[in-house]
Structure 1
Amino acid sequence: MATPNKDPIWNLELKTKATVTFSSSPVSPPDSTWKFQNKECNNYRSKEGITPEGGSNGSDPSSYQKVKGITWFQTLIHLLKGNIGTGLLGLPLAVKNAGLLMGPLSLLLMGIVAVHCMGILVKCARHLCRRLQKPFLDYGDAVMYGLQTSPSSWLQNHALWGRHVVVFFLLLTQLGFCCVYFVFLADNLKQVIEAANTTTTNCYSNETVTLTPSIDSRLYMLSFLPFIVLLVFIRNLRVLSIFSMLANICMFISLVVIYQYIVQDIPDPKNLPLVADWKTYPLFFGTTIFAFESIGVVLPLENKMKKNDHFPVILYGGMTMITLLYTSLACLGYLKFGAAIQASITLNLPNCWLFQSVKLLYSLGIFFTYALQFYVPAEIIIPFAVSHVPKQWNLVVDLSIRTGLVCVTCALAILIPRLDLVIALVGSMSSSALALIIPPLLEIITYYSEGMSPITIIKDILITFLGFFGLVVGTYQALYELAQPPVSPTFSNLTSAFVQ
């Protein structure tokens, strides 16, 4: 499962630059990390080593050259990191919801469309930079300036709302990720504790494991609450980058172990349906778009590259690798565990110390990632609130809001304690807007006055309709499933069912 699915350290650095204005009137920045962010934005040219060449005053954006920045390899690594998270682990269940044939085909199609929308966003941002003579634009800026330069006077007058929409969906997405993390942590820790008395060293035993019932998973969420509150009190981005590194190491090791297990002794798939019930397909959509929702890191990476002319190649090459990774894990996971596949593939791993350690290790990575994902909404909401109180109350308000936001995500996770439905709901409600709906509309707004091919317009309308249809139907189906009487999951980890 993004992100997230998704290492958000790049989201942290530059997402907030675009999404910090809540009103048309300027707000004096408070004495907090927000001041650093404003300073970072204002000093972009000096920080990134952008120097004007040619031209009398360097106002031509084509005259800006990045003499410092990240290399193509570093960009590729960050792109890969930004797409690997909890969404990845939920894709095997997504394939079950679509079918053994329909699932992989739809996953590939969704990947192609999502990556195409990322390319659209980059193209529009570059075009607007040249038109407005700006060195860089982020997601919120691109939407706002696209509306400002549109031929419609109504859109021009409401351009600022374009940025507000991006802010809203960013907040919804990032806080949704945080809700998913609470549920993921609770489910995995609960299963590890329930199997503690019967955990063995033999990972390929045919012995049936009987789990010991423990406390409700929602109580596990509450137990994580104070530790996560303390974690989000860390406001220094450099310190958070250390947690990002630890999270990446934990997740990488876990994925290697998971892959080596699921490729062995795959059962005969003849009993698996090629096409699932159409009622579960919207859940497939929500889970998949949740995993692919990394569009927020695209412009920050492109802006920070030394030679950003190479970025499209890096984008399409890197996302091809991600799509293949998603498809392979989704298919292998479903083939390995069949109808017994759960919301996270970690919940299907055998009850031996190796795989119990994998669950704890991945959970540790998700725990650290919570602070990174939380940083984005915190840097949007807190500066606005702190600017309206006396300076001596800044720290109190800052920490209070952090505590309150964590409690909100915990409360929402407790209200929706089903990991698969939380992922589908977040993906359908927010990720579809950022990844599928806004980019094609931005392309039409940006290029319509300059002449667009009717085929391109039809293509963009179809993508927008796909995103909107997925948003409505996926959200409805997730909410409908949540309204049904809960069915107690059977965490049976029966290795005898999977080992021939």
Structure 2
Amino acid sequence: MVDKKMQHEINITHISGSVVSDIHEINSLSGTLPETKKQEAHNGGHHVVTHPTSYADTMLHLFRGNIGTGLLAMGDAFKNGGIVFSPIVTALLGIICVHAQHLLLNCSEEMHRKSKRDRAPGFAETVYLVFASGPVSCRSMATTMKILVNGFLCVTQLGFCCVYIVFIANNVKMICDQYNIHISLSIHMLFVVLPIMLACMVRNLKYLTPFSTIANIMMAFGVAVVIYAATQDLPAVETRVYMASWQQLPLYFGTAIYAFEGIGLVLPLKNEMSNPESFQKPLGVLNVGMVVVGSIFITVGFLGYLKWGDEVLGSLTLNLQPGEVLSNVVQSLIALAILFTYPLQFYVPIAITWPAIEKKYGATHPVAKELGYRALLVILTFILAESIPELGLFISLVGAVSSTALALMFPPLLELVSTSQKPGGIPTHILIKNCFIILLGLFIFSTGTYESVASIVRAFQV
């Protein structure tokens, strides 16, 4: 019933809007972080990590994986939520998202134990195994659900890539404008996509992973400067809207979920630890780390909206004082950090989709065809970025469309399917709780997608 064959393994790390992901198997997102310099071995049929990470190491990786474009968009999120509404709901969303991550971790651990695999399954494999071993009526859906998860992962990662192009182009344009080099945003995107295209032609990602460390340093410095700038000469809280209009709230939810959608990070981080049990404890890495991350999100969003009000933009870097050297440096560093991140982020949809295409069409000239396929996907992200150049709205759209499914809908669904097989069936409190989370995900998905698209249309009509 369960295929235990291990497939080709490639290690990669990347910063995304809110996630570090990694491919252990072609059809299964799991994850490792090359900073740990991990070596893998198989002893007696068991997968072991010879250089596991400590509590502190894992905490650091958790921070790295959640600090990115999503954090810098929190000011825009708070504008669409309100100065009072947003901190409260962001905290609640964070709790729900972390709970969903615990659900995924529990299901993965249970499937690992039941299937006796030598490696804990990744997200898509966990979904497959839960449905394959679930009620008879669900077993025929196992492959479909796995494909669906991989599809959402591809949409999410390509959505991040589109956001990256818009993000980089916006920051570069602001710098160029200060030197009276006035070029349209579309042309800046065209210039941005050229180095991205070249970087994405590198098939062996070990040559790209050193740039991840550079990107982390650049991002950390840039975010620190942005937070410092946001704390200067703050107006009174009373000058801001306490709760935004109902029409704006879906945009808030989309952006917030985009920032919190780090569910692809938790499985690899736990599996890398020397003491995996400490990952999920009450004071374990996940709970403590996400409390810190959530606090940073709330702080940055609150300060960003309080400082710049309705003028706050889709990235707080765009609100830095124009013409100042420090502003230009920060915008350049963060733009470069995201540029370095793109080809690593881009690897996920390639790893998921290319093997099947190669099997069917790659009998001759497989390398040339893979490079062509990579180029086509880069062009696709460029076209989408050109089509929706509004950074804040694009982030909200990506969050509403795909992040909600991965972060809020699949984990509780997995627990329901898994629990239904246990004696006594699904307890009432678990049924109510999980249905609430799924309905919340459906609400954010539907209203966030609709309002994001409607706002994008209105932006083009202005």
The correspondence for 1:328, drawn from 299, 302, 317, is 299
Describe the superposition over 1:293-329 as per-residue Cα deviations: whole angstroms up to 9, x where unpaired: 1101111111222211111111111111110111111
The correspondence for 1:403, drawn from 350, 375, 383, is 375
Residues 139 and 272 of structure 1: is their aligned pair in 2 closer, same or farther, counting only changes over 3 Å? same
CA offset at residue 156 of structure 1?
0.6
- Give 3-state SS (helix, strand or coil) of 1:424's partner: helix
Residues 111 and 426 of structure 1: is their aligned pair in 2 closer, same or farther, counting only changes over 3 Å? same
Q: Report if aligned partners of 1:183, 1:413 keep a CA contact under 8 Å in 2.
A: yes
Q: Report if aligned partners of 2:166, 2:389 keep a CA contact under 8 Å in 1.
A: yes
RMSD: 2.1
Q: Which amino acid aligns with 2:353?
A: I
The correspondence for 1:73, drawn from 46, 49, 56, is 56
* Match of residue 162 from structure 2: 179
Q: Which amino acid aligns with 1:5?
A: G
TM-score scaled to structure 1, two decimals?
0.83
Listed as ranges, the matches of 1:343-362 within 5 Å are 343-351=314-322, 352-362=324-334
- Give 3-state SS (helix, strand or coil) of 1:235's partner: coil
Structure 1 residue 453 corresponds to structure 2 residue 427: yes
* Match of residue 17 from structure 2: 5
CA offset at residue 381 of structure 1?
1.9
- Using the alignment, how far apart are the partners of 2:162 and 2:26 within structure 1? 20
**Number of residues paired by the alignment?**
437
Describe the superposition over 1:131-156 as per-residue Cα deviations: whole angstroms up to 9, x where unpaired: 222241111111111001112x2311
- Using the alignment, how far apart are the partners of 2:449 and 2:343 within structure 1? 26
CA offset at residue 162 of structure 1?
1.4
Structure 1 residue 477 corresponds to structure 2 residue 451: yes
Q: Which amino acid aligns with 2:127?
A: V
The correspondence for 1:253, drawn from 218, 221, 236, is 221
Between stretches 246-255 and 127-136, larger displacement belongs to 127-136
CA offset at residue 455 of structure 1?
0.6
* Match of residue 10 from structure 2: none
* Match of residue 224 from structure 1: 192
The correspondence for 2:389, drawn from 395, 417, 432, is 417
Structure 1 residue 132 corresponds to structure 2 residue 103: no
Structure 1 residue 243 corresponds to structure 2 residue 211: yes
Describe the superposition over 1:360-399 as per-residue Cα deviations: whole angstroms up to 9, x where unpaired: 1100000001011001111122222222235441111011
Describe the superposition over 1:235-293 as per-residue Cα deviations: whole angstroms up to 9, x where unpaired: 22222211111111110111111122212221122221101111000000110100111
* Match of residue 308 from structure 2: 337
Q: Report if aligned partners of 1:5, 1:84 keep a CA contact under 8 Å in 2.
A: yes
- Give 3-state SS (helix, strand or coil) of 1:267's partner: coil
Residues 48 and 251 of structure 1: is their aligned pair in 2 closer, same or farther, counting only changes over 3 Å? same
Listed as ranges, the matches of 1:379-398 within 5 Å are 379-398=351-370
- Computing the radius of gyration from Cα coordinates, the structure with the larger value is 1
TM-score scaled to structure 2, two decimals?
0.90
CA offset at residue 218 of structure 1?
1.1
CA offset at residue 186 of structure 1?
1.1
* Match of residue 127 from structure 2: 143
CA offset at residue 3 of structure 1?
6.1
The correspondence for 2:40, drawn from 40, 48, 54, is 48
- Give 3-state SS (helix, strand or coil) of 1:387's partner: helix
- Using the alignment, how far apart are the partners of 1:166 and 1:271 within structure 2? 43
Q: Which amino acid aligns with 1:478?
A: S
* Match of residue 3 from structure 2: none
Listed as ranges, the matches of 1:435-450 within 5 Å are 435-450=407-422
CA offset at residue 12 of structure 1?
2.6
Residues 220 and 453 of structure 1: is their aligned pair in 2 closer, same or farther, counting only changes over 3 Å? same
Structure 1 residue 428 corresponds to structure 2 residue 400: yes
- Using the alignment, how far apart are the partners of 2:268 and 2:27 within structure 1? 10
Structure 1 residue 376 corresponds to structure 2 residue 368: no
Structure 1: runs of 5+ lacking an equivalent: 21-36, 41-45, 53-57, 198-211, 489-500
Describe the superposition over 1:4-25 as per-residue Cα deviations: whole angstroms up to 9, x where unpaired: 41463xx1343745169xxxxx
* Match of residue 28 from structure 2: 18
Structure 1 residue 301 corresponds to structure 2 residue 275: no
- Give 3-state SS (helix, strand or coil) of 1:484's partner: helix
- Give 3-state SS (helix, strand or coil) of 1:243's partner: helix
CA offset at residue 486 of structure 1?
3.1
- Give 3-state SS (helix, strand or coil) of 2:209's partner: helix
The correspondence for 2:86, drawn from 92, 96, 103, is 103
Q: Report if aligned partners of 2:23, 2:351 keep a CA contact under 8 Å in 1.
A: no
- Give 3-state SS (helix, strand or coil) of 1:371's partner: helix
* Match of residue 244 from structure 2: 276
Structure 1 residue 163 corresponds to structure 2 residue 125: no
CA offset at residue 331 of structure 1?
0.4
Q: Report percent identity of matched pairs.
A: 35
- Using the alignment, how far apart are the partners of 1:7 and 1:166 within structure 2? 16
Q: Which amino acid aligns with 1:48?
A: E
Q: Which amino acid aligns with 1:216?
A: S
Q: Report if aligned partners of 2:222, 2:334 keep a CA contact under 8 Å in 1.
A: yes
Residues 94 and 487 of structure 1: is their aligned pair in 2 closer, same or farther, counting only changes over 3 Å? farther
Residues 95 and 474 of structure 1: is their aligned pair in 2 closer, same or farther, counting only changes over 3 Å? same
Between stretches 293-302 and 322-331, larger displacement belongs to 293-302
CA offset at residue 157 of structure 1?
1.5
Q: Report if aligned partners of 1:15, 1:297 keep a CA contact under 8 Å in 2.
A: no
- Using the alignment, how far apart are the partners of 1:263 and 1:102 within structure 2? 20
Describe the superposition over 1:156-209 as per-residue Cα deviations: whole angstroms up to 9, x where unpaired: 122111110111000000000000011111111111111225xxxxxxxxxxxx
Q: Report if aligned partners of 2:215, 2:337 keep a CA contact under 8 Å in 1.
A: yes
Q: Report if aligned partners of 1:19, 1:166 keep a CA contact under 8 Å in 2.
A: no
Describe the superposition over 1:324-375 as per-residue Cα deviations: whole angstroms up to 9, x where unpaired: 1111111011111112111111111002011111001100000001011001
- Using the alignment, how far apart are the partners of 1:387 and 1:275 within structure 2? 53
Describe the superposition over 1:211-230 as per-residue Cα deviations: whole angstroms up to 9, x where unpaired: x7x22201111111221110
Between stretches 89-98 and 66-75, larger displacement belongs to 66-75
Q: Which amino acid aligns with 1:437?
A: M
Q: Which amino acid aligns with 1:276?
A: A
Between stretches 222-231 and 361-370, larger displacement belongs to 222-231
CA offset at residue 65 of structure 1?
6.6
Q: Report if aligned partners of 1:346, 1:359 keep a CA contact under 8 Å in 2.
A: yes
Q: Which amino acid aligns with 2:319?
A: N
Between stretches 75-84 and 406-415, larger displacement belongs to 75-84
Residues 219 and 245 of structure 1: is their aligned pair in 2 closer, same or farther, counting only changes over 3 Å? same
